[in-house]
């Protein structure tokens, strides 16, 4: 199975910038990896029509209804969307998404054959008080309750590493990723894929991708400039 490079563009770039972005990456995206673009939802179709795997950054749990401003998993699927992120720490923090809601979203997405990348990870405060493992164990337990995990990938994203330029050491990443795999195997008898996310850049991508337990990366800021992105992927291609 190919390792994954998931690119979370967050809430960045205007329409013309996105058209330029797609032009810049044309014929430059490797197929040695499973590269998935997570642009703002209004641009999903543009990436899809250009032949890329695409994912939404967020999804509602219901298929339809009176939920002004939301996008349903049914709608995403009908557009040909392949993946969705669920439980990104920015959604947990800024939009108060809790474990119950996240669990519902995972279920809604899977029901519509959208693959899910569930984000988990500890805050700086939790890390400093040695709660990393218990926090992650709880997130896995609560977010994945009553779910068939076949189409689920986990992204280990320490909250303190996101957008901060700080990353855990290779050994720390390996330990937490291996812990997640072991827990999921114990509870669900399935080998789950686990990505690392948080300040992945040109300087560290090679090291992080070389960790055997890591099945890929979830990249934020380093994916916004298409030239930077291409030169970063070149390093590991």
Residues 21/228, Cβ–Cβ less than 8 Å: no
Residues 80/48, Cβ–Cβ less than 8 Å: yes
Which residue from 136, 200, 208, 232 is in contact with ligand PGA, where contact means CB under 6 A?
A: 200
Q: Give the nearer residue to ligand PGA in terms of CB position, either 75 or 221.
A: 221
197 touching ligand PGA, by CB under 6 A:
yes
**Catalytic center residues:** 88, 157
199 touching ligand PGA, by CB under 6 A:
yes
* C-alpha to C-alpha distance for 210 and 193, rounded to whole angstroms: 15
**Helix residue spans in the chain (DSSP H):** 15-25, 44-49, 73-78, 89-94, 99-111, 124-128, 132-143, 170-188, 205-209, 226-236
Structure tokens at 118: 């569930």
Task: Write the interaction track for ligand PGA spanning residues 3-42; mark x where CB under 6 A is met and - where it is not.
Answer: -----x----------------------------------
Q: Give the nearer residue to ligand PGA in terms of CB position, either 52 or 196.
A: 196
Residue 198: how many CB atoms within 10 A of its CB? 27
Which residue from 73, 87, 220, 226 is in contact with ligand PGA, where contact means CB under 6 A?
A: 220
Stretch that binds ligand PGA, among 53-61, 103-111, 121-129, 196-204 (CB under 6 A): 196-204
Which residue from 20, 23, 134, 163 is in contact with ligand PGA, where contact means CB under 6 A?
A: 163
Q: List 164's β-bridge partners, or say none.
A: none
Stretch that binds ligand PGA, among 60-68, 109-117, 157-165, 228-236 (CB under 6 A): 157-165
What is the closest distance, in whole angstroms, from the C-beta atom of residue 199 to ligand PGA in the complex?
4
Stretch that binds ligand PGA, among 28-36, 99-107, 125-133, 214-222 (CB under 6 A): 214-222
CB neighbours of 30 closer than 8 A, spacing ≥ 6?
233, 237
Residues 57/42, Cβ–Cβ less than 8 Å: no
Q: Give the nearer residue to ligand PGA in terms of CB position, either 26 or 164.
A: 164
CB neighbours of 13 closer than 8 A, spacing ≥ 6?
21, 39, 40, 43, 224
Q: What is the DSSP letter of 41?
A: G
Which of 95, 108, 117, 105 minimizes the C-alpha distance to 7?
Answer: 117
132 touching ligand PGA, by CB under 6 A:
no
What is the closest distance, in whole angstroms, from the C-beta atom of residue 184 to ligand PGA in the complex?
20
Which residue from 76, 116, 118, 162 is in contact with ligand PGA, where contact means CB under 6 A?
A: 162
Stretch that binds ligand PGA, among 75-83, 102-110, 131-139, 191-199 (CB under 6 A): 191-199
Using CB under 6 A as the criterion, which residues of the chain lie in contact with ligand PGA when the complex forms? 8, 157, 162-163, 197-200, 218-222
């Amino acid at each position: 199975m190919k390792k994954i490079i998931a690119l979370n563009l967050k809430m960045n770039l205007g329409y013309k910038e996105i058209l330029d972005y797609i032009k810049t990456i044309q014929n430059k995206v490797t197929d040695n990896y499973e590269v998935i673009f997570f642009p703002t939802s209004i641009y999903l179709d543009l990436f899809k029509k250009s032949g890329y795997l695409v994912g939404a950054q967020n999804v509602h749990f219901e298929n339809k209804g009176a939920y002004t401003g939301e996008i349903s998993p049914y709608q995403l699927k009908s557009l040909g969307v392949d993946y969705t992120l669920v439980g990104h720490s920015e959604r947990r923090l800024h939009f108060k998404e809790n474990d119950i809601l996240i669990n519902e979203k995972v279920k809604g997405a899977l029901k519509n054959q959208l693959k899910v990348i569930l984000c988990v990870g500890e805050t700086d405060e939790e890390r400093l008080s040695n709660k990393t493992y218990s926090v992650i164990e709880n997130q896995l337990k609560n977010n994945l309750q009553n779910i068939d995990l076949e189409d689920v990938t986990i992204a280990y994203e320490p909250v303190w590493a996101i957008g901060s330029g700080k990353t855990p050491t290779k050994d720390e990443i390996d330990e937490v990723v291996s812990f997640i795999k072991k827990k999921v195997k114990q509870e669900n008898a399935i080998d789950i894929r686990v990505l690392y996310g948080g300040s992945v850049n040109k300087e560290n991508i090679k090291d992080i991708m070389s960790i055997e337990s890591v099945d890929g990366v979830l990249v934020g800021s380093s994916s916004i400039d298409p030239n930077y992105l291409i030169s970063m992927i070149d390093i590991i291609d």
